[in-house]
Structure 1
Amino acid sequence: MNLMVYTLYGFAVTFMVIWSVMWIFHVLALIAGRWKLHRKLSQVPTYETPLPGVSIIKPLMGVDPNLHSNLETFFQLDYPVYELLFCIEDEQDPVLVLVHKLVEKYPAVEAKLFIGGRGVGVNPKINNMQPAYEASRHELILISDSGIRMREDTLLDMVNYMTERVGLVHQMPFTCDREGFAAAYEKIYFGTVQSRMYLVADLLRINCHTGMSALIKKALLEEVGGLKTFGAYLAEDFFYAKSLMDRNWRITVCSQPAMQNSGHCEVYSFQARLKRWAKLRVAMLPTTIVLEPLSECLILGACASWAANLLLDWDTLVFYLAHVLLWFTFDWTLLCVVQNGPLPFNFLEFVIGWLLCETTRPYLFVQAVLDPLIQWRSRVYRLKWGGLAEEVKAKVKY
């Protein structure tokens, strides 16, 4: 009997410690967001001080309604020396026509096209980028996904953070303002859950890198065999960041968030992305199976409410409602900090989107754990512990 009582109290103390740590993370995220994001450039583009050249690698597949305007922003960057390297796996891909039109429209911008890729691993993105990586001429490599939209000064902002001890500068994922509830749902997720994790990880120097927009010193990749070294992983971004940190190089977030601007925006497709990312996290860091659910507002609130009642005899329902309300308030505040301007939806839409986000994530996580296969476009992969992946010959369901 005593053992059972001690066990219950042990769980209660553990839940309260995790609950307290999460509130520290909330506060740290707000402080880091105010301090780090949307800062004015410390170095204006006068070009009197030589800036390093940048090779921008853009892996492309297919065309969406916003792709033309997204890619055009890369031809309009206010930066002295850079090249655009477009990577297309299939020579029949209609995106070829779009790229050719932009290259003709901006003849002053150095741009090259690489078709076919090279099979250096199971990761299709690495395979697609490999020829462009080998042909890149500059000391800095910017890997940028097709859905990213850039401001004229974004590249300069990223380069400004590439100091002597920094090996990788990345942008915190966020979204452009788009119409519709699905777009609001995405913005709420990236401006709350993802931003909190990213800002705290950057502050504590923890690897939380996602590779949608990342500036890397090419020489550091070459030290470990180049980009192809990470072709065995689907989460190549996490592992090349880990490689840098293992060699005592810093990674850091720049002041401008990565503005995702995909023309296809649906709740179902975004939830499929969330499940895919959860599968990758579980494979790379198995402790995620236990720790991630306890970082969720509703689950952690329930555990902490029970613990507070057991340890302090506090009312469970009152504690839980206060917890949810305070969490909601912190998330609203953080989203406003990340947005740095008026939100494209009203407060009621935020309430609905936030509730959907918080109530569905535990369910999506369970689905991810129960089904370890990852579907990536037309391919299906099986993940192994440690993050290694193998392609499986499975029929993709549509």
Structure 2
Amino acid sequence: MAPMIYTLYGFAIFFFIFWCGMWLLHLIAIVYGKYRLHKKIIPEPTDEPYPGVSILKPLMGVDPHLVSNLETFFTLNYPMYEILFCIEDEKDPAIDVVNALIEKYPKVSTSVFVGGSLVGVNPKINNMNKAYEASSYDLILISDSGIRMKEDTLLDMVNHMTEKTGLIHQMPFTCDRNGFAATLEKIYFGTAQSRIYLCADFVRVNCHTGMSTLMRKAVLEEHGGLKTFGCYLAEDFFIAKCFIDRGWKIGISSHPALQNSGLCDVNSFQARLTRWAKLRLAMVPLVIIFEPLTECMVIGACAAWAFSLLFLWEPLVFYLVHILVWFLCDWILLSIVQNGTLPFNKFDFIIGWLFRECSAPYLFLLAVLDPTIKWRNRVFKLAWGGVAQELKPRIKC
């Protein structure tokens, strides 16, 4: 009986410490987010011109927001840059969209690369590799098709690229859109995702997502170029790891990445979250133990049991207070990341927040039970360490 009691108390102490750690993350994210995000950087006078930037835009298909998203890259307030559009299929209608914008903005340096190249299993790397090899400048910006830029975002990213910094990325967020799915996306990226992202940047841990990333081409070349990462589906994680391993700093810009994909529904969003969870499980196996405990409902239940055992507190009251305070912290953090009026009211936030928090453990369980990854019309299997293998690969002529 005694060993069983010691075991129970051991678990209770573990949950108590983990619960306290989660509140520390809340505090760091709120304070650091207020300090780091949406800061206007005034460049110091210098005789050296701003470095040129090659922007890689991998495209596939056309959604309702593609034209407006791409147009924001033609109107950037930056002295010297080029846009390299990467389109794998020569029949892709995105080619017509790109050509129309090139005709509208003839003064912007642009190139279109059609066909891609087979350098690995990662479709995004295959699509971008030709453009990368033809890029003219020392700084490379990889930007997904669904990203919308403000006029000064590129300038902000370059200003954060100090002598010891090799990679600057934008923290994922979303544009203001209508509908429950859009509300759900904004809540997730402005709370759960932002909390981890800001804390990781604060303690200098790799939490890089590659939807909008500025990096030094010379460092990639030392590692063999962009094609070296074609064997991974989570190429963004391993690119950042490459920079860190070589002694370079990485960091976030003060502008969050404004995702504005035309595809916005609950099922697609949840499939995306499940896919990301599968990638994390393959790259960092300990995620299977600790990630569920970072969710409000799970750690709250564990902490309620721990406090009832250690301090004889009423578990139900503790659990409800825990959820309420977590909810308030998330509202504060989301308001900081938004940096303005939210496009929904408090009632919509309550419904979206509860739906997100209650569905998160279920989505993680799905990721554990089915490790295969479906990406558009292709299926991949991951080995430990993140190396991917495509199941039933397409036949190349």
- TM-score bin (small chain): over 0.9
Specify the alignment match of 1:135 in structure 2.
134
* Deviation sequence 1:10-68 (CA, Å, 0-9, x none): 00000001000000000000011100000012218x99641110000000000000000
Specify the alignment match of 1:237 in structure 2.
236
Specify the alignment match of 2:103 in structure 1.
104
Change (3 A) 1:47 1:124: farther
> How far did 1:108 drift?
0.3
Q: Which amino acid aligns with 1:158?
A: M
Specify the alignment match of 1:329 in structure 2.
328
- Find the aligned partners of 2:286 and 2:247 in 1 and give their Cα distance: 24
TM-score (norm 2): 0.98
Conserved in 2, the CA contact under 8 Å of 1:209 and 1:238? Answer: yes
Specify the alignment match of 1:307 in structure 2.
306
Specify the alignment match of 1:350 in structure 2.
349
Specify the alignment match of 2:265 in structure 1.
266
Change (3 A) 1:378 1:47: farther
Conserved in 2, the CA contact under 8 Å of 1:57 and 1:141? Answer: yes
* Deviation sequence 1:202-228 (CA, Å, 0-9, x none): 000000000000000000000110101
* Deviation sequence 1:304-345 (CA, Å, 0-9, x none): 000001011111011101100000000000000000000000
Specify the alignment match of 1:294 in structure 2.
293
Q: Does 1:29 align with 2:19?
A: no
* Deviation sequence 1:372-393 (CA, Å, 0-9, x none): 1101111100011100100001
Superposed, which structure 2 residues align to 1:45-84 within 5 Å?
Answer: 49-84=48-83
- Find the aligned partners of 1:5 and 1:350 in 2 and give their Cα distance: 42
**Percent sequence identity over aligned pairs:** 64
Q: Which amino acid aligns with 2:70?
A: L
* Deviation sequence 1:70-91 (CA, Å, 0-9, x none): 0000000010010000000000
Specify the alignment match of 2:122 in structure 1.
123
- Find the aligned partners of 1:47 and 1:364 in 2 and give their Cα distance: 50
Specify the alignment match of 1:7 in structure 2.
7
- Find the aligned partners of 2:322 and 2:202 in 1 and give their Cα distance: 25
Specify the alignment match of 2:40 in structure 1.
40
Corresponding pairs, count: 394
Conserved in 2, the CA contact under 8 Å of 1:71 and 1:149? Answer: yes
- Find the aligned partners of 1:313 and 1:179 in 2 and give their Cα distance: 46
Superposed, which structure 2 residues align to 1:202-221 within 5 Å?
Answer: 202-221=201-220
Secondary structure of 1:292 counterpart: helix
Conserved in 2, the CA contact under 8 Å of 1:53 and 1:138? Answer: yes
TM-score (norm 1): 0.98
Specify the alignment match of 1:171 in structure 2.
170
**Runs of 4+ off more than 6 Å:** none
Secondary structure of 1:245 counterpart: helix
- Find the aligned partners of 1:78 and 1:316 in 2 and give their Cα distance: 55
Secondary structure of 2:107 counterpart: coil
Q: Name the stretch that deviates more: 196-205 or 242-251.
A: 242-251
- Find the aligned partners of 1:35 and 1:42 in 2 and give their Cα distance: 16
- Find the aligned partners of 2:280 and 2:174 in 1 and give their Cα distance: 22
Q: Which amino acid aligns with 1:39?
A: K
* Deviation sequence 1:255-276 (CA, Å, 0-9, x none): 0000000111101100000000
Secondary structure of 1:216 counterpart: strand
Q: Which amino acid aligns with 1:226?
A: G
Conserved in 2, the CA contact under 8 Å of 1:38 and 1:255? Answer: yes
Conserved in 2, the CA contact under 8 Å of 1:47 and 1:80? Answer: no
- Find the aligned partners of 2:176 and 2:325 in 1 and give their Cα distance: 26
- Find the aligned partners of 1:50 and 1:119 in 2 and give their Cα distance: 36
Conserved in 2, the CA contact under 8 Å of 1:79 and 1:156? Answer: yes
Secondary structure of 2:141 counterpart: strand
- Find the aligned partners of 1:47 and 1:100 in 2 and give their Cα distance: 37
Q: Which amino acid aligns with 2:5?
A: V
- Find the aligned partners of 1:271 and 1:265 in 2 and give their Cα distance: 11
- Find the aligned partners of 1:181 and 1:187 in 2 and give their Cα distance: 10
- Find the aligned partners of 2:318 and 2:245 in 1 and give their Cα distance: 42
Secondary structure of 2:363 counterpart: helix
Secondary structure of 1:168 counterpart: strand
- Find the aligned partners of 1:55 and 1:17 in 2 and give their Cα distance: 46
Supply the RMSD in Å over aligned alpha carbons. Answer: 1.2
Conserved in 2, the CA contact under 8 Å of 1:19 and 1:304? Answer: yes
Specify the alignment match of 2:182 in structure 1.
183
- Find the aligned partners of 1:92 and 1:394 in 2 and give their Cα distance: 20
Secondary structure of 1:35 counterpart: helix
Specify the alignment match of 2:389 in structure 1.
390
